[in-house]
Amino acid sequence: MNKIPKDNKNQKILAAPSSLKLMPRKQKKRMSIEFENWLISQFRVIFLCLAAALLGGACSSKDKETTVEISPEIYKINSIKSKLATPVVDEVIKLNPSKVTISACSTTPPRKIIQFEREFSARSKAELILVVSQGDCVIK
Tens of pLDDT, residue by residue over 84-119, are 999 999 999 999 999 999 999 888 999 999 999 999
| Cα–Cα distance, 99 to 92 (Å, whole number) | 10
At residue 68, does pLDDT exceed 90?
Answer: yes
User: Do 84 and 129 fall into the same domain?
Assistant: yes
| Cα–Cα distance, 131 to 116 (Å, whole number) | 14
Helical H segments across the chain, by residue range:
25-59, 85-95, 110-123
CA proximity to 127, closest of 104, 88, 100, 103: 100
Would you say residue 42 lies in a domain?
A: yes
Would you say residue 16 lies in a domain?
A: no
Would you say residue 11 lies in a domain?
A: no
The confidence score (pLDDT) of residue 19 equals 47
Highest mean pLDDT among 11-15, 28-32, 45-49, 84-88: 84-88
At residue 7, does pLDDT exceed 60?
Answer: no
Taking the CB of residue 108, how many other CB atoms lie within 10 A of it? Answer: 19
User: Do 40 and 72 fall into the same domain?
Assistant: no
User: Do 78 and 48 fall into the same domain?
Assistant: no
Task: Give the SS3 label for residue 77.
Answer: strand
Mean pLDDT of 35-61: 68
User: Do 38 and 86 fall into the same domain?
Assistant: no
User: Do 76 and 120 fall into the same domain?
Assistant: yes
For 119-129, how does the pLDDT look when each residue is reduced to its tens digit (9 = 90+)?
999 999 999 99
Would you say residue 128 lies in a domain?
A: yes
Q: Which domain holds residue 111?
A: 65-133
- Structural domains counted in the chain: 2
Would you say residue 71 lies in a domain?
A: yes
Taking the CB of residue 128, how many other CB atoms lie within 10 A of it? Answer: 15
Would you say residue 98 lies in a domain?
A: yes
Phi, psi (deg, nearest 5) at residue 79? -100, 5
User: Do 90 and 39 fall into the same domain?
Assistant: no
User: Do 128 and 69 fall into the same domain?
Assistant: yes
